[in-house]
Chains A and B, each alone.
Chain A
Amino acid sequence: MNIWTQLELRFRVNADRPALTDNNGTSISYGELLVKVKGIAARIRAQSAVGSRICILHTHSYFDALAVLGTLAADRIVVPMSLNYGETNCCQIMMRAEPCLLLSDVDPLPDSIATIIKDKQIGIMQITAESGETWNGDAVAVESDLAMLMFTSGTTGVPKGAMLTHGNILANLGDIAAYFTMTPEDHFLIARPLYHGAVMTGEFLHGLMHGARITFYNEAFSPRRLLAFLAEKACTTMCATPTLFYHLAMNKRKVELPALQKVVVSGECLNPQVAEQILTSFPGVRFFNVYGLTEASPRVCHLDPEYFLAKIGSVGVPLKSVRIRVVGEDGIETARGEIGELLVQGPNVMRGYWKDEKLTAQKIVDGWLHTGDMCRQDDEGFLFIIGRKDHMIIRAGVNIYPQDIENTLLKDEAFKEVMVWGETDANYGQRICAAFVPASEAAMSSADIIGICRKRLDAYKWPDEVLVVASLPRNASGKVMRARPQVPPPALAPVTV
C-alpha cells in the first residue's frame, strides 16, 4: 500500500479536471500536476537515499503541496514544517528528523535554520512555478512504508515526530471517505498549513483522492476577506477551527455563499453557542464536527450534519475501522456517561514517535493509543470531549502546553513560580492565562512580565492575560492547582484581554 500509487491512479483518471490553483490564481489540471510531481520526484530521488527525511517549508501552501506530492512520489519521508510555529520549532524538527534535504522557497532563511543546514550539510531544493519540471518517465519502486513524520508539540517544548505509515494514512482516508463524500465537482478551500495532520490527510489528500479542485487561502486571517474569497471562487467545501468559523459568522455584512455546501470544524472543543451561531449564519451548509490527533493520522471520530444540532458539541462516533475505549484512572472502562480518558485503536494509529521509544511506550500501551483527551459517551455512543488530562491549551486551533511555557519562563531569574492555564474565550476558543510569583520583593508590573514573555517565548505562546500573585493556589497536599487564583492582591489587578 502506497499513497502515491493510489494518487497517481486517480490523477490519471481525472487528468483533464482542475487540480490545484497555483500561487498566482491559475488552475492546473491533474494531468499537469502529475507531470510536475514526477519531475520533482526525480530531482528528490537524485539527491536522497531510501528512507531519507525531506523537510518542507514554503511561503505559499501551493509549493508545500507540490513538495509533499513530489516527496511521496519519490518514496521519501515527508516532514512538513511551518514558520507559524516559530523558528525554534522548525530548528527542533530539523534536529530531530535529520533530513538530507530541505525543500523551501523561504529566502532568506532565518539564521537559526541556515546554521543547521550548514552544520548538518543539508541540501536545499527550490520548487518554483517557473522551474519547468519534466517527467523523466521512471517508475518508482516502493521501498519504504513510512510516509510522514508529522511533528506535534509536547509538554517539554520539544516537538514529537509521529511516524505515520502509508497504511496508516490510507486507512484513515478510506474511513473519511465513508462519511465525507468528495467528488471532482467539489472545490475545496484549504486555509490552514499542511503542517497539521487534519489538513494534510482530511483536506489535502482526501480532496486529491477524489479528484476535487483545491485552492489554498494563503493570507493571514481576515473574516471579510476570507468570505469574499469563498464567494468569488465559489468553493463548495471548507474545513476550519470553530474559532475561525465563529469569526466568519460574526462578520457584520451578510455575504451570500451559494456554492458552499460542506464545512468541517475540528481542532478545538465546539462550544454549543458557537455551533448555534454558525448554523444560523450559514443556512443550507452541512456542518460536520470531527475529532482526531496527529498520532491517529489524524481522524478518530465524526459527527455528521444530521446530528450537528441534536448532539450539539459532540464529536460523534468512531470511524468505521477505529475502536475506542473510555477508561478511568484505574485503566478500567467507565460506565456510559462517566468521564474518562479516550483510548484509540485502529489501522490509523501511528507506529510510534520518531527515535523516542520511551515516549512511544507511554503513549501506546497494550496496543491502545492514549489520547490524553478526557471525554464521556452518551447513551447512544456519541462522544463528547471534555478537556485535556495534561491541561493542554488549544488557542485558535494551536496546541500549547502550560508546562512548556512555565519551564521556559522559570529560566528567568525574575520569577520564583509561574503557573499557566487556559480559559474559554469567544475569540480564540481558549486563551492563555499566567500567574507569576516574583523572585524578589521589588515591585513587578504586568508590563515587566509581558516584556520577559516576549523575549523568551515564541509569539503564539505569549499569554493573553497575566496576574502577579504572592503565591500560587495549592491543594491540601501542597500540589499547585492549575486554575485561576481566587483572590489576587487588590493592588495588583489583572490585565484582561
Chain B
Amino acid sequence: MADSMEIMGAVASIIREKAPTTVGLEIAMDTLLKEALGLDSLRLVQIMVAIEDQFGIEFEVEDLDPRAFERISDLVVLTEKTIGTVDA
C-alpha cells in the first residue's frame, strides 16, 4: 500500500502534467489548490480522474464535495483513504 509520501509525489507529478502552468510553483502538503496553484474546478476534475487511474481507485461521490479540497493534503488524504478501502 502506498504511503503518504508516495501519494504526495504522484499527486504532484499529476498536477505538473495536467496543469503545466504550475511550473516553478512549490507543491507541498499545505499548498492551496486554487489560490496558490490556480486550479479551477475543471482542472481539478482532470487531476482527480488521473489520480483514480494511477491508483486504480474510484472516489465516492460523497467524498468529492469541492469545498473539501482546499490544499494538496486534502487530495493526498482522500487518495490514501480510498486506497485503504480498496485494499481492505
Contacts and interface: CB of A to CB of B under 8 A. Distances in A.
Interface in A465-497: 465-466, 495-497
A463 B41 CA distance: 16
A204 interface: no
Q: Interface residues of B toward A: which range? A: 20 to 34
Nearest to B22: A450
A228 B41 CA distance: 17
A450 B61 CA distance: 33
Interface string A384-427: 00000000000010000000000000000000000000000001
B64 A445 contact: no
Interface string B27-50: 000000010001011101110010
Interface of A: 219-225, 228, 243, 247, 252-253, 396, 427-428, 445-448, 450-451, 454, 459-460, 462-466, 495-497
29 contacts: A219-B65, A220-B44, A220-B67, A221-B41, A221-B42, A222-B45, A222-B64, A222-B66, A224-B64, A225-B64, A225-B66, A247-B42, A252-B52, A253-B58, A396-B40, A396-B42, A427-B46, A446-B21, A446-B23, A446-B24, A450-B21, A459-B34, A459-B38, A460-B40, A462-B38, A464-B21, A465-B20, A465-B21, A497-B18
B66 A221 contact: yes
B19 interface: yes
A459 B40 contact: yes
Contacts of A447: 23-25
B36 to A, nearest CB: 9
B79 to A, nearest CB: 16
A451 B44 CA distance: 20
Nearest to A244: B42
Nearest to A495: B20
A219 B67 contact: yes
A379 B44 CA distance: 43
Contacts of B46: 427
A223 B52 CA distance: 14
A464 B65 CA distance: 25
Contact of B61 (A224, A247, A451): A224
Contacts of A221: 41-42, 45, 66
B8 to A, nearest CB: 21
Contacts of A428: 42
Nearest to A447: B24
Contacts of A446: 20-21, 23-24
B11 to A, nearest CB: 17
B45 A454 contact: no
Contacts of A427: 42, 46
Contact of B38 (A253, A448, A454, A465): A454
Nearest to A454: B38
A70 to B, nearest CB: 28
B22 to A, nearest CB: 8
A447 B38 CA distance: 13
Nearest to A219: B66
Nearest to A225: B64
Please give me the 4 A-B residue pairs with the lowest Cβ-Cβ distance, nearest first. Answer: A447-B24, A220-B66, A220-B41, A221-B41
A227 to B, nearest CB: 8
Nearest to A221: B41
A223 B45 contact: yes
A16 B59 CA distance: 40
Contacts of B38: 454, 459, 462
Given A252-B58, A427-B46, A462-B38, A445 B67 contact: no
A431 to B, nearest CB: 10
Nearest to A462: B38
Contacts of A463: 21
Interface in B51-66: 52, 58-59, 61, 64-66
Contacts of A451: 24
B23 A495 contact: yes
Contacts of B42: 221, 243, 247, 396, 427-428
A318 to B, nearest CB: 32
A448 B58 CA distance: 36
B65 to A, nearest CB: 7
Interface in B65-81: 65-67
Contacts of A454: 38
B31 to A, nearest CB: 14
Contacts of A243: 42
A224 B59 CA distance: 10
A225 B41 CA distance: 12
Given A225-B65, A463-B21, A497-B21, 8 more contacts: A220-B66, A221-B42, A222-B44, A222-B45, A224-B59, A459-B34, A465-B21, A497-B19
Contacts of B40: 396, 459-460
Contacts of B52: 252
A92 to B, nearest CB: 21
A250 B45 CA distance: 11
B83 to A, nearest CB: 17
